[in-house]
Amino acid sequence: MADFAARYARAFADVVLGGGVPADEVNAQINDFVATLHESVDLRQALFNPALAADVRVRVIDALAPRLHLSREVRNFLAVLLRHDRMNAIGEIVAEYRAEMDRRQGISEVEVISARRLDADERSQMEQQVARLAGTQVRARFREDNDLIGGAVVRIGSTIYDGSVRGRLDRMKQELVAG
**Chain CA centroid to CA 156, Å:** 15
> Quick check: pTM over 0.75?
no
Strands 159-162 and 152-156: antiparallel
Clarify whether residues 24 and 69 are in a common domain.
Answer: yes
Are 64 and 89 within one domain? yes
What is the average per-residue pLDDT within 14-38? 93
Residue 17 pLDDT: 92
Q: Give yes or no: residues 79 and 131 share one domain.
A: no
Examine the domain organization and report whether 66 and 131 are in the same domain. Answer: no
Shared-domain flag, residues 9 and 85: yes
Give kind and range of the element (H or E) at residue 65.
Answer: helix 54-68
At which of 103, 135, 168 does a domain end?
Answer: 103
**Beta-bridge partners for 65:** none
Q: What is the pLDDT of residue 176?
A: 85
36, 51: one domain:
yes
The pLDDT value recorded for residue 76 is 96
For residue 69, the domain's CATH number is 1.10.520
pLDDT of residue 149: 82
pLDDT tens sequence across 74-116: 999 999 999 999 999 999 999 999 999 998 988 888 899 988 8
Cβ atoms 116, 149 nearer than 8 A: no
pLDDT of residue 1: 52
- Residue ranges making up the domain that contains 17: 3-103
Does 12 share its domain with 48? Answer: yes
118-176 per-position pLDDT tens digit: 999 999 999 998 899 888 888 889 999 888 888 888 888 788 888 777 777 777 888 88
Question: Strand, coil or helix: what is 137?
Answer: strand
The number of distinct structural domains making up the chain is: 2
Q: Which of 103, 129, 148 is the last residue before a domain boundary? A: 103
**Residue-wise over 28-47: b if at least 16 C-beta within 10 A, else e?**
ebbebbeeebeeeeebeebb
